[in-house]
Amino acid sequence: MRIAIIDSGVHAAHVHVNGVAGGVGITAEGGEESDFTDHIGHGTAVAAVIREKAPAAEIFAVKIFHDSLATRIEPLVCAIDWAVRHRMDLINLSLGTGNAAHEAVLRAAVERVRGAGILLIAAHEEAGVRWLPGSLPGALPVSLDWDCPRGEYRTTPLPDGRTLYLASGFPRPIPGVPLERNLKGLSFAVANVTGLLAAERITACS
């Protein structure tokens, strides 16, 4: 089970991550570099959630955030295409854009993902914001459910016929850090769903 985490990179040596299978850094211009080390922490926290639920998965860090959790659309599309070229099974996108001007290019990227038989898991909607590409056909959409236990997800049908996945927005707990002071939000609902679906697929294939 090969999972691409498109985010701020991963600190592979973190005790909650326990190594990665590989990765790449995508520059602001869309180029590739070997350094995918996380200097922000968000991607590492996402990887920790997925590793917790699917310890046998092969995690690949695809770094598009370098100094902050913001980037241009070009690195995101390049990151998605990198995951397609490297034959990932799942793509975790704990991110999104509300800019409708990017819909066409992201719709085309999602079609390439779907054509390759890859499942792209991404944020759907939050507080009235329609996130792209998670709200597009072909992506698996995720929304928050703060009442959902971290070890499971819930589902509900969408008007377009897709299934919306609902999950907890809490990441993996950190010993000594109160829950309210840890990272939390839709990013981790996406990661919780990715980890749970990966675990289901690994079990089904074993």
Strand 119-123 to strand 22-26: parallel, antiparallel, or no bridges (unpaired)? unpaired
Mean of the per-residue pLDDT values of the chain: 94
Q: Which CATH number fits domain 2-205: 1.10.510.10, 3.40.50.200, 3.20.20.70, 3.30.360.10?
A: 3.40.50.200
Over its C-alpha atoms, the chain yields an Rg (Å, rounded) of: 15
Rounded Cα distance between 3 and 201, Å, is: 12
Hey, where are the domains in the chain?
2-205
Rounded Cα distance between 170 and 96, Å, is: 18
Q: Which two tokens stand for residue 26?
A: 């995508």
Model confidence at 115: pLDDT above 80: yes
| Residue among 12, 17, 69 at smallest CA distance from 35 | 12
Q: Which two tokens stand for residue 41?
A: 């922490």
pLDDT of residue 192: 98
Is residue 5 within 8 Å of 92, Cβ to Cβ? yes
Q: What are the tens digits of pLDDT across the range 65-88? A: 999 888 999 999 999 999 999 999
Is residue 78 within 8 Å of 62, Cβ to Cβ? no
Q: What are the tens digits of pLDDT across the range 22-34? A: 999 999 989 999 9
Is residue 186 within 8 Å of 169, Cβ to Cβ? yes
Q: What are the tens digits of pLDDT across the range 51-61? A: 999 999 999 99
